[in-house]
Structure 1
Amino acid sequence: MTDTQVLIITNEEDVTTDFIILELKRRGIPYFRLNSETLPNSKFEFDPLIGRDSFKISFEGKSIQLKNVGAAYYRRPGTPVPLIDISCDSAFYYCETEWLSLLKALYSLIDEKWFNSPSRIDAAENKPLQLLRAAALGFRIPETRITNHLEYAKTIQAPSLIGKPLKNSLIEGNDSPGIIFTSTLPPLDDLGEHEVRLSPVIFQTQIEKKFDVRVTVVREQIFAAAIHSQCNDATKVDWRASQNEVLEHTVVDIPDEIKVLCVAITKQFGLKFSAIDLILDVDDDWWFLEINPNGQWAWIECRTDLQITSAIVDELEWQCRQSLN
């Protein structure tokens, strides 16, 4: 496979990509890591009359040409940072936008060589659609209302409710940046309509958990890890809420019918990879929460020794071989 490379598009701080690169090196598979924030430091060439294969990005000492890309992994690209000698804000923004447009052009030209294409990742991040498809496939989902209307939220008949964001868990800005975790809500009668009207919220029945489960899907393979969140009050509702708490992670065998559903919903979104959040409740029932089309997985491998890196590189290697045929 000396004529093909694996292209990984990410950022300089993405440690997960290091796992992939170590395995690619071990197998002797050529690769090119494109840290997107450094893209303005490159020289770019493209001639549409020659075709997509002429698309070339060059840095000092290395380059990548689209004709040599056998497989591509969209990991965690950031925003390109224009050259530091641009002092005018409007010029800086203009250059940033132009480099972003170049990245998007590259994404579309890579086409079928993606592990997971950016367009399919974006489409799969639609949480209402996730819940709709999960329920239609046969997953058990918590009773849910997605609304900014308090009286409609009150139609959930449950002793306790949780609330979580529809899209963005990050609050950015200089005044009060932070993360919005899934949280137990106060009685809805204690809330004012004006508080709920501010933005859409996902209201759901709170499930009494035995533990959380992270299922990583790579094509047909399932890697399931139990996250023992109920041993700490801070993590009982959302296991991400205590950043300093090292929760126990164990390999868990999930029922075959749940495995089938995890693969099925991944395929329905046109994905080869997903990270699915499930709950096992105190009655041993399995609940679907959401699917992360580009979710993190390296920490699962570190804590459980599940061979996720190897499975992903298998797919990238297979795609490289296919591109030679």
Structure 2
Amino acid sequence: MNKIEFLIISNKFDFTTDYICLELERRKLKYLRLNRDEFENYEIIFKINELILQVKIENKNFILREETLKAIYYRAPIYLRDNFQPDIDVEEQLYRSQWTAFIRNLTLFENVKWVNNPISTFKAENKLLQLKYAARIGFAIPGTIVTNTNNLQIDPQKDYIVKTLDTALLRTENKEAFIYSSVVKGREVLDSTLSKSPLVLQDYIYPKVDVRVTVIGKSVYPVKIEKKGKGIDGDWRLEKNNLSYIPFNLPLNIEQYCVEIVKSLGLAFGGIDLIESNGEYYFIEVNPTGEWAWLVDSSGLQIYKGICDYLESDENYALSTY
């Protein structure tokens, strides 16, 4: 039996996780990667009374015990966002729901360091809670309301940001659709019918420079996001491949706020979106399963080394908030 110190849970197409596995191999650490889309190819026995997880993959046997397992790296959303679709058969629905439940139940390894613990991720994916914690820590936040009515006291001529309350992955005409944040005039909101679902309405902060801050434990990796030396109107993700990601130093108090917001949500890792406007930094949101691999090539930040340093260390910076 191969005794495992680091468990990696991902899927086979997640190139972000590839960086972690390659670095663990370089360090000659004993790890096991389980892909969520390949569970049927594994033989798994989880002995609950003894807290021993046995996995057989292609005639290789692995054993994971709480007393020898040092850390678990798990990078996936907790909410099931692929709602019922007619083309998913019952067997596939059962596969998704039951293996998702299995992964949640790996939190039985309570004394193991997680990046991130699914229970904490579930809590942290609530954007309104993030704003509450951010304001309490000291961040400036945009004026924000959640509503399903146009009976609002807002300025018809003013610009606002409209966004979904949760990541919206939809299907239309057999194609996947994603809803980005949009800049709209107040009159557009007042003229719209909003009763079907809640939306988030925020003050539009401008001029602005978007800032992405990747946090792992106490390590902070900030970049400014610019196009031709200037900030971007609206949602920068709409033109992600045409932008520059420039490493820089945050003010020390903002850097500390970034570490604290991640910690306060019970996380060890977070991808934070900030806006800088006229010297003020506004907290927008934190993604507990955020992407960072594109920053390795685009900005030279070796985030994978920071994550592996944290996994390998004795540090366990996430607070238990559940």
**TM-score normalised by L of structure 2:** 0.85
Which amino acid in 1 is paired with 2:257? L
CA distance in 2, matches of 1:77, 1:254: 28
Q: How far did 1:150 drift? A: 1.5
Alignment partner of 1:103: what SS?
A: helix
CA RMSD of aligned residues (A): 2.8
Q: Give 1:313's aligned amino acid.
A: C
Contact 1:210 1:230 in 2 (8 A): no
1:172 counterpart SS class: strand
1:98–1:135 Cα change, 3 Å: closer
Q: Can you give the 5+ residue segments of structure 1 that lack an aligned partner in the other structure?
A: 80-87
Runs of 4+ in 1 over 6 A off after TM superposition: 230-233
Q: Given residue 100 of structure 2, which amino acid in structure 1 is its aligned partner?
A: L
One-letter amino acid of the structure 1 residue matched with residue 165 of structure 2:
L
Match for 2:9: what amino acid?
A: I
For 1:146, the equivalent position in structure 2 comes to 146
The offset of 1:48, in angstroms, is 3.4
Q: Residues 226-258 of structure 1, C-alpha deviation per residue, up to 9 Å, x if partnerless?
A: 11058689x521111125x42111112111110
8 Å CA contact 2:181–2:235 kept in 1: the answer is yes
Deviation at 1:89, TM superposition (A): 3.9
> Mind listing any 5+ residue stretches in structure 2 that lack a counterpart?
80-87, 317-322
Contact 1:145 1:204 in 2 (8 A): yes
Partner of 2:85 in structure 1? Answer: none
Paired letter, 2:298: R
Q: 1:285 aligns with which of 280, 284, 298?
A: 280
Superposition pairs of residues 1-325 of structure 1, within 5 angstroms: 3-49=3-49, 51-53=50-52, 55-67=53-65, 68-76=68-76, 89-109=89-109, 111-152=111-152, 154-155=153-154, 159-175=158-174, 177-188=176-187, 191-192=190-191, 195-229=193-227, 236-243=233-240, 245-281=241-277, 283-319=278-314
Provide the secondary structure at the position in 2 that maps to 1:240: helix
2:139–2:257 Cα contact (<8 Å) kept: yes
Q: % of aligned pairs identical?
A: 33
* Residue 84 (structure 1) aligns with: none
Shift of 1:105: 2.1
Structure with bigger helix share is 1
Aligned length: 305
Matched AA of 2:304: T
Decide whether the 8 Å contact of 1:182 with 1:238 is kept in 2.
Answer: yes
Contact 1:36 1:77 in 2 (8 A): no
**Residue 189 and residue 310 in structure 1: after superposition, are their counterparts in 2 closer, same or farther (change >3 A)?**
closer
Q: Deviations over 1:255-280 (max 9, x none)?
A: 11101111111111111111110011
Counterpart amino acid of residue 239 in structure 1: W
Q: In the alignment, residue 314 of structure 1 is paired with which amino acid?
A: D
Supply the AA of the counterpart residue of 1:280: E
